[in-house]
Structure 1
């Protein structure tokens, strides 16, 4: 699944010469947190965030001449003075897994998406990531629920599918995950996305077949 499916396409951008107050106004009015900074051809030069802007404005605890001095300096500054230039980005072939790893590694809230010429074609945020995985795992489908069982490693997925089909229990996804929280990473869990809210009867059926429902 490529990020281009979920990104915000053709995002609003600013130039390096954009005054900081103007960038601040855009972020506030559009409810954005990130603004790509590009050259006239659309090539990425940097990113300015709401955090960058908040950090240069004077603290509310300052008073008098000092506050006014800082405020005047900020209001005469342009975004090239405060933007981040050490950037990570995604491309046309980046998947949502690539985005997840990079967002976590860089500890940022969004990443620009570039075409093969280095031009900004979109921006992919944590919210986009959540929407993508929500769709992937069926979170937005009506009348569904998640049931989890302990994985014994004895062809459990095949057994589960056979049981669900035999009992005419509709399901859309079967996923195995490692239980890294246990420390060893040797144990795993199987998650089944079922299209029914009759969870008690499903859990009972799985227990009768020897599964540990968790």
Structure 2
């Protein structure tokens, strides 16, 4: 069996909110996921560029200009070939430098290509195996528009430009991948001086609510479960002996607040005003590119101060 090696990008954000309503917290998580989605797509695309060597995207049909040519020849080249830079060679065809439109602008009264070119010893070269991503970083750092590609013998075999990188990026980023599968589990842990009594009453209310909405209530030894008509779990009340430990909600929705029953459950929990609620919310998204995105929220809601603190972790595996 072959296993795909995954690359991982992870970011952790500290959260501090002037609110303790569960509805508000889940709304914030949903907004955060939407805002982070574009950034994750860009990270995915940039990681894809890391796997593309410049030999696959560089220009191989190289147009050179002789060092003894006049700058008028460079003007003709720019107008004819629409490239803004050219390798400069000597009479033996050996690379001696690079000349660009920027050099032409700064050339003043100089008349030959050799007078305005950047000499070879001041150039940066890359190998054909250098990634498109690394090439882009070099060009950005040095504020240049192209890089010369040399083989193992030091011979010029190609040129890669910013335009080549942009075109490659557009090809691989065209149309973000659609989500194929979403799974989400939200766990609620409660802390209160009257925790036992409050939780018992809350669970009774939730069972009444869910049963009244035609959910199937199933009681097991260590948990009580509410199932849909298709026998898919929605709410699980976890028990430890005769004590309620925590409540879990399982869905397949990125925006949990789109479900009426979830809004009713959250409202019911808020009504009991527990002193503290620890929420761990894990969203797993799998897209058509088989990349996996996880949004992991760990926050604590404080009833007295009406504040919420914690972290949201965005993890992307592809």
Please give the TM-score of this superposition, normalised by the length of structure 2.
0.41
Superimposed CA distance per residue, residues 84-111 of structure 1 (whole angstroms, 9 cap, x where no aligned partner):
1211122122111220121111111111
CA contact (8 A) 2:98 2:117 kept: yes
Q: What is the CA RMSD across the aligned residues, in angstroms? A: 3.3
In the alignment, what sits opposite 1:112? Answer: 148
**Is 1:46 matched with 2:97?**
yes
C-alpha distance 33-93 of structure 1, shift in aligned 2 (>3 A):
same
In the alignment, what sits opposite 1:78? Answer: 112
Higher Cα Rg, which structure: 2
Larger RCO: 1 or 2 (CA < 8 Å, sep 6+): 2
Find the residue that maps to 1:36 and give its secondary structure: strand
CA contact (8 A) 2:97 2:117 kept: yes
**Is 1:160 matched with 2:279?**
no
Tell me, in whole angstroms, the C-alpha distance in 2 between the residues paired with 1:83 and 1:91: 22
Listed as ranges, the gaps of 5+ residues in structure 1 are 58-69, 165-170, 177-185, 193-214
In the alignment, what sits opposite 1:89? Answer: 125
Find the residue that maps to 2:289 and give its secondary structure: strand
Superposition deviation, residue 28 in structure 1: 2.0
CA contact (8 A) 1:146 1:191 kept: no
Tell me, in whole angstroms, the C-alpha distance in 1 between the residues paired with 2:291 and 2:84: 36
C-alpha distance 56-147 of structure 1, shift in aligned 2 (>3 A):
same
CA contact (8 A) 2:177 2:289 kept: no
Superimposed CA distance per residue, residues 173-210 of structure 1 (whole angstroms, 9 cap, x where no aligned partner):
6376xxxxxxxxx8546599xxxxxxxxxxxxxxxxxx
Greater per-residue strand proportion: 2
**1:130 pairs with one of 166, 178, 182:** 166
CA contact (8 A) 2:146 2:160 kept: yes
**Is 1:29 matched with 2:80?**
yes
C-alpha distance 155-94 of structure 1, shift in aligned 2 (>3 A):
farther
C-alpha distance 29-94 of structure 1, shift in aligned 2 (>3 A):
same
Superposition deviation, residue 123 in structure 1: 0.9
Superimposed CA distance per residue, residues 139-188 of structure 1 (whole angstroms, 9 cap, x where no aligned partner):
1xxxx445798xxx9875xx312xx6xxxxxx226376xxxxxxxxx854
C-alpha distance 173-109 of structure 1, shift in aligned 2 (>3 A):
farther
